[in-house]
Amino acid sequence: MKFCGHCSATVSLVIPQGDNRHRYVCDKCEFIFYENPRIIAGTIPVFEDKVLLCKRAIEPRLGYWTLPAGFMENGETTQQAALRETFEEAYASPELGPLFSVCNLPKGNQVHVFYLAHMTVAEYGSGPESLAVELYDEADIPWHDIAFGTVTQTLKRFFEDRKQGIEQLHHIDF
């Protein structure tokens, strides 16, 4: 960051008075720019005993499989973001269930949240960000072609919980 978005003056990376972290601060109007983690919200869409996965049509990880998820937009809740992303990527409209996993990626400045989601019908398709969308049972999931560690760990915990007959919230740190 080089210039203030409010007055166009230069900015400096300093520790503002009363703070303990470096922040970009405008040299003229003294506006402080806070850079915070991005939230990625998605679902674990389940139909009968299968999970819906999307094959990515975009980078990063083009051609790899993922749960439907994406960046949260301003003005929406994590639940709304998860459902919006599920529809955008998989043309699926599941019933949203409880929060299942919170994945912290401090080195990437991201937090990924996944909700359980029940599909009452097997209606889905490839959105513009998906090359393919398929229902998989655990044995057929392309584990070596999963796009992100957050998705791998969320899916593993989902299937472990299902085998044990429990439903719990998972906090996963990367």
Kindly list the structural domains of the chain, giving each domain's residue range(s) and its CATH number in brackets, ordered by start. Answer: 1-35 (2.20.70.10), 38-173 (3.90.79.10)
Q: What is the pLDDT, as a whole number, of residue 81? A: 99
The pLDDT score that the predictor gives to residue 107 is: 97
Q: What is the mean pLDDT of each run of 10 residues along the chain (174 residues)?
A: 96 97 97 96 99 98 99 98 99 99 98 99 98 99 99 99 98 98
- What is residue 173's predicted lDDT score, i.e. its pLDDT? 98
Confidence (pLDDT) at 18: 95
Q: Are 66 and 138 in contact (CB under 8 A)?
A: no
- Are 99 and 115 contacting, i.e. CB atoms less than 8 angstroms apart? yes
Q: Which helix (H) or strand (E) holds 155?
A: helix 149-164
Report the pLDDT value the prediction gives residue 89, as an integer from 0 to 100: 98
A 10 A CB-CB count for 129 gives 17
Q: Which of 60, 56, 38, 130 is nearest to 92 (CA)?
A: 130
Q: For residues 83 and 18, give the distance between their C-alpha atoms in angstroms, rounded to a whole number.
A: 39
